[in-house]
Amino acid sequence: MSSLEDRTDDELLIHLRDEPRVLAILFARHRPRLWRMAQLRLDRRLLGRLDPDDVLQEAYLDASRRIQHFQREDSSSFFLWLRLIVGQTLVDLHRRHLGALARDAGREVSIDHAGPHAPEVDSASMALELMGQLTPASHVFQRREMSQRMQEALEGLSATDREVLVLRHFEELTNSEVSQVLNIQAKAASIRYVRALARLKAVLERDPEFHEES
Amino acid sequence: MNQDDSRTRYTPSFTEGDDDRDVVDLLADEFVARLRRGESPSIDEYADRCPDRADEVRAIFPTIAAMEKNKPHPTAALPSDGVVGDCRLVREIGRGGMGVVYEAEQESLGRRVAVKLLPRTHGTDDRPLRRFLREARTAARLHHPHIVPIHTIGEQGGQPYFVMTLVPGVGLDRVLQRIRRSGARGTDGPSFADDYVDTLAYSLRSGHFSSASGSGPSNRAEARSPRTGLSRPNDTNQLGPSYWRAIARVGLAAAEALQYAHEQGVLHRDIKPGNVLLDASGGVWVADFGLAKALGDEDLSRTGDLVGTLRYMAPERFRGSADARSDVYSLGLTLYEALTLRPAFDSADRVKLLKRIADSRPPALRTLNPNVPRDLETIVLRSTEPDPALRYPTAGDFANDLRAFLEGRPVGPRPSSARRLLSLARRHPLVSVLAVSTFILTIIAGYFIRLYVNAPIRPPFPPEGPHPFEPMGDRPPPKRGPRD
């Protein structure tokens, strides 16, 4: 393992502009979270044409082009910066592939007040995600029944509740990062999260099967 | 490293504003961090820590666990037609740090195989892919009864994959998790392979494996029967001699596989419980030989399982060197975890974890569980020495001692304290300089104390009889006699 890989994110960021491998390493470290973001927010009409890896590939190239513009030097803001680039890439890809459709469908609702707009997580794409039906071939892959129930429960929530749960659990954002993305106070983000959990639990509880198992 | 640590240690990347946060949220954060490390934290524990809102914790935390369980995992993209090479994917059978494993039908030969799909590489550089193909080919030449055989290696649209024999095995990590949590109601929902994992957990504890070889997850009727009437242990104290022997047998098989691979010039580089597969007939299979090198460190971190892998890495790996003894070390830590039911080094934080592995040895096995046989403890201790020079020089030596333990013969000696001290001095020059200076200072100090203590019996004072006067400040301390 070379010395570069052992460094912390903050140590690496110092060399972001002069060492090309730094971006690759940092991108690699954040990849699981960025991947989930791309997968959850990719329009289902693009399935078969694009997958989250394509989105990340484009976002990576875009990040390397824009690297000189990254100003702040702490790792959390760097992750949020990468996240914005992935969001921007998603918007661009949706425009390119869906054209007028995307605008008609009114998908460009901002959830990302801090910068370029990322498509909102909608129940349909979330549902598909949880069903693992992102590719036409996936009908051969069995998903656990639990996912279906979870997907239905999430669909039963308001967009606000769903968003905060997805950010915290699927995209693995910290409360502080959620507050920055949603542009609200840390305290408000925390309260919103706990309330959303309580409402999700209430929806899940109506399902007797879930109740028995948990 | 100790249990308290894993409960209280959680540092989110941001701490400002935490004071304002809902206390249930803060507990949830820690709970989630532990779930993500593969632990099975008890919800009651969190309810107890927050008595005012215990009901809320009990109500909400199962939902949190369910959310985490349903989280999408970054996987290799599936080919749109579900075909990789000449294999048609049938169903997902496992997810590791480095890829997703599918059961597949190899159409040309009409047989069932396992296909592992690895994440696609980023950027325009094709060197990682070429490295993968080169390294994986070396690993594919290994043929050993305890190594999962690789049939084909390939690349489809920039995405590496390989085709292996479909082994009816489950990772030791999952079996250990099951043993650890047995009794408690898990956060896991029902799943297809649960009964099979139960069977393996039972088999390890009782030492009884089904004689029918090749009984896989599909053989459910047989798999389920041992569960009934089984007392489920909640802690390691309820594990007995048959369990120690079963773990020693697993270690022996894996060590033999390592020795064979090392003779062929292949290091595994990523031995951990998840890469040691068990089947219901007592078979042991080591998976993913050389894959860590084939993928490279960068790709390893990309899959998000770097910490899971770091935890079992030998300290010298962080200084850039690796040899057969590094694999011995990782297998030693794997056995350690199997015997104590907890990772030897435990930290969710990369940097802290690295420091721990480099600076310390895990707590002595028998302090965690006094029932572990002393000889087995000696073997694990020797294989996990921080200094490679003190470890078994080869996996074969490791295997020999495990065999000796199983046959009731004496095992090799523990490294002496003197050798350990020398090794410490070699690894930490500063520490040794300090130790030597302290030693010298102690001798000098001793010499002066002696002078001081002996002073009264020397002239000018008469040897016997009362002193004519008390010399100021030259009197021996009251409790010290001249014999000092």
* Rounded to 5°, angle at Cα A66 from A119 and A69: 105
Is A62 in a helix, a strand, or coil?
A: helix
Q: Is the Cβ of A200 closer than 8 Å to some Cβ of chain B? A: yes
Q: Taking a C-beta distance cutoff of 8 angstroms, is the pair B282, B53 a contact?
A: no
Nearest Cα neighbor of A128 from B189, B72, B88 is B72
Residue of A nearest to B354 (CA): A6
Beta-carbon contacts of residue A171 (< 8 Å; ≥ 6 apart): A33, A36, A37, A40
Q: Is the Cβ of A201 closer than 8 Å to some Cβ of chain B? A: yes
* Rounded to 5°, angle at Cα A61 from A60 and A67: 85
Say which residue the tokens 């029967």 belong to: B225
Label the pairing between strands B276-278 and B284-286.
antiparallel
Half-sphere exposure of A138 (CA within 13 A, CB side): 14
- pLDDT for res B72: 66
Which H or E run contains B312? Answer: none
Residue B208: other Cβ atoms inside 10 A: 13
CB contact under 8 A, B22 and A204: no
Q: Is the Cβ of A148 closer than 8 Å to some Cβ of chain B? A: no
Euclidean distance between CA atoms B113 and B57, whole angstroms: 44
Euclidean distance between CA atoms B236 and B1, whole angstroms: 17
Average pLDDT estimate for A18-30? 81
- pLDDT for res B161: 87
Is B333 in a helix, a strand, or coil?
A: helix
Q: Is the Cβ of A176 closer than 8 Å to some Cβ of chain B? A: yes
**Which A residues, 18 through 47, put their C-beta within 8 Å of a C-beta on chain B?**
24-25, 27-29, 31-32, 35-36, 39-40
Beta-carbon contacts of residue A7 (< 8 Å; ≥ 6 apart): none
The residue that leads in pLDDT, A41 or B233, is A41
Q: Which residues of B touch A53 (CB under 8 A)?
A: 76-77, 119-120
Interface test with B, best of A53, A121, A180 (most B CBs within 10 A): A53
DSSP lists the bridge partners of residue B162 as B116, B153
A158/chain B closest Cα distance in angstroms: 16
Average pLDDT estimate for B306-321? 73
Q: Note the Cα B266 to chain centre separation in Å.
A: 21
CA distances from B317 to A28, B307, B320 (A): 20, 14, 5
CB contact under 8 A, B17 and A150: no
**Which A residues, 49 through 108, put their C-beta within 8 Å of a C-beta on chain B?**
51-53, 56-57, 60-61, 75-76
CB contact under 8 A, B67 and A169: yes
Residue of A nearest to B300 (CA): A28
> How many contacts (CB atoms, under 8 Å) link A and B?
174
Euclidean distance between CA atoms A133 and A143, whole angstroms: 9
Taking only the tens place, the pLDDT of each residue in A109-164 is 333 333 334 444 443 343 333 323 222 222 222 333 345 667 777 777 887 888 88
- pLDDT for res B147: 93
- pLDDT for res B280: 82
Least confident of A56-60, B47-51, B123-127, B397-401: B123-127
Least confident of B73-87, B148-162, B271-285: B73-87
CB contact under 8 A, A27 and B191: no
Q: Is the Cβ of A140 closer than 8 Å to some Cβ of chain B? A: yes
ipTM over 0.90: no
Tokens of B454: 């002996």
DSSP lists the bridge partners of residue B96 as B99
Q: Which residues of A touch B22 (CB under 8 A)?
A: 190-191, 193-194
Average pLDDT estimate for B464-478? 46
A206/chain B closest Cα distance in angstroms: 13
Least confident of A160-169, B66-75, B151-160, B423-432: B423-432
Average pLDDT estimate for B310-339? 88
Taking only the tens place, the pLDDT of each residue in B417-468 is 777 777 766 666 666 667 677 777 777 777 777 766 665 554 444 444 444 4
Q: Which residues of A touch B82 (CB under 8 A)?
A: 137-138, 140
CB contact under 8 A, A144 and B79: no
CB contact under 8 A, A31 and B190: no
Name the catalytic one among B270, B299, B327, B397. B270
The residue that leads in pLDDT, B10 or A8, is A8
DSSP lists the bridge partners of residue B92 as B102
Split at pLDDT 50, 70, 90, the class of B190 is very low
Tokens of B441: 């200072």
Tokens of A168: 């915290």
Instruction: Choose from A93-102, A113-122, B97-106 the range with maximum mean pLDDT.
Output: B97-106
Per-state percent for chain A, helix, strand, coil, to nearest 5? 70, 0, 30
Q: Which of B12, B59, B78 sits opposite A174 (nearest CB)?
A: B12
For chain B, give the longest Cα–Cα distance. 111
Q: Taking a C-beta distance cutoff of 8 angstroms, is the pair A179, A185 a contact?
A: yes
Q: Which residues of A touch B298 (CB under 8 A)?
A: 5, 24-25, 28
Is B114 in a helix, a strand, or coil?
A: strand
CB contact under 8 A, A57 and B189: no
The residue that leads in pLDDT, B363 or B359, is B363
Q: What is the DSSP letter of B127?
A: H
Q: Which of A5, A32, A35 sits opposite B297 (nearest CB)?
A: A5
Nearest Cα neighbor of A203 from B60, B23, B25, B46 is B60
Q: Which residues of A touch B69 (CB under 8 A)?
A: 146
Euclidean distance between CA atoms B210 and B219, whole angstroms: 11
- pLDDT for res A88: 81
CB contact under 8 A, B354 and A6: yes
- pLDDT for res B428: 66
Q: Is the Cβ of B126 closer than 8 Å to some Cβ of chain A? A: no
Q: Is B188 annotated in the active site?
A: no
- pLDDT for res A107: 39
